[in-house]
Amino acid sequence: MEIVTFNHEPNGPSSFKDAAVINMYSYFKGYEPQKDKIKHPIEQEGLTYIQEPNKPIYRYYHNGRYIKYQRFTASGELAVIDYFNENRQRFKREEYDSSGYVHSLMYMNLETNKPKQHLYLRADGTCYMTKWYKNDETTEKIVIFDEKENIVNVLYSENELSYYFLSRLINKTEYLFLTSEFEIYKTLKSLSVKCSSMYLGFIETNELLDNPEKEIGHLDAFVVPSLKRYHDTIEKTGPRTNIYYVSEEPFTRKRFVDKLIDQVTFNNHLKNMDVELLTAEWQSKSDLYLSAKVEFKGDVPTHSVGRHKMYWKLKNKKSGTEITYNAKVSSEEELMFTVSGTLYVHSVLDQLSMIELYLCSEWDNSFFASSVRVTDPKEIPSSEQSILGWQITLAVENNYLHVHTAEGLRRKLMKRLFAKK
């Protein structure tokens, strides 16, 4: 699991327990080498200062004019510097990280004392993102820069920024999104429409989803923390398999999330499946034992390994009757498998027809149904079987294995007797 955060947190953790934390601002800032810590002294040459009583806050003066405000943390690190002009208006603010480097620089609107432009900085002083604000404090423009100060993108709202960030993450890997932050929900919903392989859930905690009856169709999982909320939701939406009641007890929540992850359809990139016959033999008059070599083409991500399900299928080509049987996987090496199983041919003997044999595979979001290819006809038993008035034989057509059916003597006699009546 990876946790994605959107607030600007220069001193935030890079991991939480066993999960990596991916912060949006750290993502755009990029990798930075280990930094030497900078110590900022309280005493500054040429300036006098006054400390606020019992607080790590200092106001600095030069020749009687108030020019600077500095706030330190309880452990003594510089946190903020505000700069003032001759009219005692704040025109600039610097914010420092725990190592003593400026991570945020704001230029202020002199009339409102609110940020007019906000620059987000790397430790070497280069800007990786800047935001411009309107007079009502809403975002006017966001510009993202790379390490060489080239413009990467220009955006026009915080929602666009979140959407752009999440889109880049999704393009690199597949995520299960579970969110209890309502303000980001609309962004996730729009992303799930664009990325069909994305699994979207909403876990209610302190915040409730507005109009769940309208949103439930967009969600793979909607989780509520009380039975009353569950029954109220069901009453509005009708019974749904994607609505869950899970208590807020942490251990219960963790078990539930583990269960959900098992249901996620990771987006693998398999292209096709080839099935080559190894063995074919009749175990009884209609029980056909097959083994085959199966080879997939394409790519499977690490978290998709082992999530395959394979089974045999018999199909009567004329009546359309289909029956499936489990396929046993006896060996596996990367994307090559050896599978086997017994197919009960009498289960689809309802009309005179050719019976097709398939091996099917469901692997996350991919589905394959491949006929069994024959490379050595000597592997095919030539004996004809007789059952229930049918004569059945194995045959090869266009290099693929089929079961041919014909009417036996008993069935022909019965048809003639009934025809005379």
Q: What is the predicted pLDDT for the residue at 372?
A: 96
Mean pLDDT, rounded, for 278-289: 92
Q: Is 80 exposed, middle or buried (0-12, 13-18, 19+ CB in 10 A)?
A: middle
| 212 token code pair | 């769940």
- The two three-digit tokens of residue 78, written as one number: 């510089």
Q: What is the rounded CA–CA span in Å between residue 262 and residue 282?
A: 38
DSSP designation for 277: E
Number of Cβ within a 10 Å radius of residue 278: 16
pLDDT for 176 beyond 60? yes
Which pLDDT belongs to residue 282?
Answer: 92
Query: In this structure, are residues 396 and 376 in contact, taking their beta carbons and an 8 Å threshold?
Result: no
Mean pLDDT of 286-299: 93
Output phi, psi for 163, to 5 deg: -60, -45
- Quote the DSSP letter at residue 309: E
Q: Specify whether the backbone of 211 is left (phi greater than 0), alpha (psi in -120 to 50) or beta.
A: left
pLDDT reading at 201 higher than 70: yes
Report the interhelical angle of 182-194 vs 158-172 (nearest 10°): 50
Question: Which ranges in 101-249 belong to alpha helices (H)?
Answer: 158-172, 182-194, 212-215, 227-237
CA dist 321 → 40, 41, 88, 271, 351 (Å):
81, 84, 86, 28, 9
Among all chains, which residue has been given the structure tokens 């396929």?
Answer: 327
Q: Beta-strand (E) ranges in 283-307?
A: 287-299
Complete domains list, the chain, with CATH = 2-163 (3.90.930), 174-263 (no CATH), 269-417 (2.60.40)
Contact indicator for 280, 273 with CB cutoff of 8 Å:
no
- Contact at 8 Å (CB) between 229 and 248? no
Q: Taking 70 as the threshold, does the pLDDT of residue 419 lie above it?
A: no
* pLDDT tens-digit series, residues 203-221: 887 778 878 888 888 888 8
Average pLDDT over every residue of 115-128? 96
Percentage above 70 pLDDT, the chain: 94
